[in-house]
């Protein structure tokens, strides 16, 4: 393990009321000496290789890690009961789509799905591997109210995470996802930001110790009527805290992936931002906060319409970036699939074609070559749900 020492000046106290007039790193001494250790664990080379594989040109992540309850809501939208059989059938439809690996490099699974198989007995993990898609796993245990905050939440799941991660690795998972959220209308409070950043950092360190590339995801919710400038302010603060604690926990930046929200106005703001504006604000934030050592930025869609998420991603790839800028979409890849499938066996092939249409569109957007020509009206419908939970 190598280490380096740096002289760090104290942070200036913020005058912004949303962080409570306090710095998270106040120190009474004029300077302090900090040692940052660079981890050189047994999985280092594998972590870097996995991250680079996922962050490969023209490919992104298919997120199908919804909890059983949330998957049940999706199934209910097409008139299906929330049974394990129906969840298995839907995920088999997605994961056995021919040619999916041309556009998808990784897929995030829920724990149930990681251990499931097709009707013919082939594990979903093997289906993904055969398609050159890296299997991933959702490891957090969901959100819970954060005492002492402005009605905000914190993410659970650190207890037992090391042993669970080791088991997920044995089952074939090679990357992990932990989603926490930050609410702009609720402040956010200094407590909530610090809790989100620290939890993500501990999760990331534990994941790397067990061979899993951690996806770091502090989702800044779309809820609110705030302007895009406010979102930028909050995003910069959140990501500065996240990387501060990632460094404190000796997380290897070359072996992580990020899953940020795009910087957009609140969903209820009177003015909608163009893809060019979203790209400008989002890339500004990333360039100010994210080291170039990070291999990939895999954006979440967060309730944007399918077409909107693709257009915004495309706008961000009109010039070279320090990192692979791509997608990790759930609803923005699945919505058309569900509408086409309707739970009918004779609609499986058409549903898989619908998935490939969305996957290819986002593949082109990752390359900066997407045009919205030919997009149907359904793809332009927003999917924002106030207070949405997974």
Catalytic residue list: 217, 259
d(CA 218, CA 237): 11
Beta-bridge partner residues of 102:
none
Sign of CA dihedral 207, 292, 231, 328: negative
| Alpha-carbon 313 to chain mean position | 14
Specify whether the CB–CB gap between 325 and 370 falls below 8 A: no
Chain-centroid distance of CA 241 in Å reads 17
Q: Is the dihedral of CA 142, 145, 146, 150 positive or negative?
A: positive
SS3 string of the chain?
Answer: CEEEEEEECCCCCCCCHHHCCCCCCCCCCCCEEEEEEECCCCCHHHHHHHHHHHCCCCCEEEEECCCHHHHHHHHHCCCCCCCHHHHHHHHHHHHCCCCHHHCEEEEEECHHHHCCECCCCCEHHHHHHHCCCEEEEECCCCEEECCCCCCCEEECCCCCHHHHHHHHHHHCCCEEEEEEEECCCCCCCHHHHHHHHHHHHHHHHHHHHCCCEEEEEEEECCCCCCCHHHHHHHHHHHHHHHHHHHHHCCCCHHHCEECCCCCCCCCCCCCCCCHHHHHHHHHHHHHHHCCCCCCEEEECCCCCCHHHHHHHHHHHCCCCCCCEEEEEECHHHHHHHHHHHCCCHHHHHHHHHHHHHHHHHHHHHHCCCCCCCCCCHHHHCCCCCCCCCC
């Amino acid at each position: 393990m190598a280490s380096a020492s740096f002289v760090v000046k104290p942070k200036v106290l913020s005058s912004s009321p949303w962080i409570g007039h306090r710095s998270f790193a106040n120190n009474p001494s004029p300077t302090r000496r900090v040692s940052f250790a660079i981890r050189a664990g047994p999985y280092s080379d594998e972590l870097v290789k996995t991250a680079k594989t996922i962050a490969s040109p023209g490919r992104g992540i298919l997120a199908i890690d919804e909890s059983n309850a949330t998957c049940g809501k999706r199934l209910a939208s097409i008139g299906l009961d929330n049974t394990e059989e129906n969840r298995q059938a839907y995920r088999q439809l997605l994961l056995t789509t021919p040619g999916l690996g041309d556009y998808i490099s990784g897929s995030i699974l829920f724990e149930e799905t990681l251990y499931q198989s097709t009707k013919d007995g082939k594990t979903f993990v093997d289906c993904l591997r055969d398609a050159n898609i890296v299997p991933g796993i959702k490891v957090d245990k969901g959100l819970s109210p954060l005492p002492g905050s402005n009605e905000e939440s914190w993410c659970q799941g650190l207890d037992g995470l090391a042993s669970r991660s080791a088991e997920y690795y044995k089952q074939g998972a090679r990357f992990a996802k932990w989603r926490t959220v930050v609410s702009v209308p609720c402040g956010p409070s200094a407590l909530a930001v610090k809790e989100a950043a620290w939890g993500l950092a501990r999760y990331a360190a534990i994941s790397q110790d067990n061979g899993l590339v951690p996806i770091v995801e502090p989702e800044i919710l779309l809820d609110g009527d705030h302007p895009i400038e406010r979102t930028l302010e909050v995003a910069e603060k959140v990501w500065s805290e996240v990387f501060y604690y990632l460094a404190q926990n000796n997380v290897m930046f070359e072996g992580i992936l990020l899953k940020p929200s795009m910087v957009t106005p609140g969903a209820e703001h009177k003015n909608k931002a163009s893809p060019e504006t979203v790209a400008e604000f989002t890339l500004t934030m990333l360039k100010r906060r994210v080291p170039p050592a990070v291999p990939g930025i895999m954006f979440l869609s967060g309730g944007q319409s399918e077409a909107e998420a693709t257009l915004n991603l495309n706008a961000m790839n009109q010039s070279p970036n320090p990192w692979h800028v791509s997608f990790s979409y759930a609803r923005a890849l699945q919505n058309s699939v569900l509408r086409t499938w309707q739970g009918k066996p004779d609609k499986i092939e058409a549903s898989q074609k619908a998935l490939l249409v969305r996957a290819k569109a986002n593949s082109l957007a990752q390359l900066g070559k997407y045009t919205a020509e030919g997009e149907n009206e359904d793809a332009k419908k927003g999917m924002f749900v106030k207070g949405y939970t997974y």
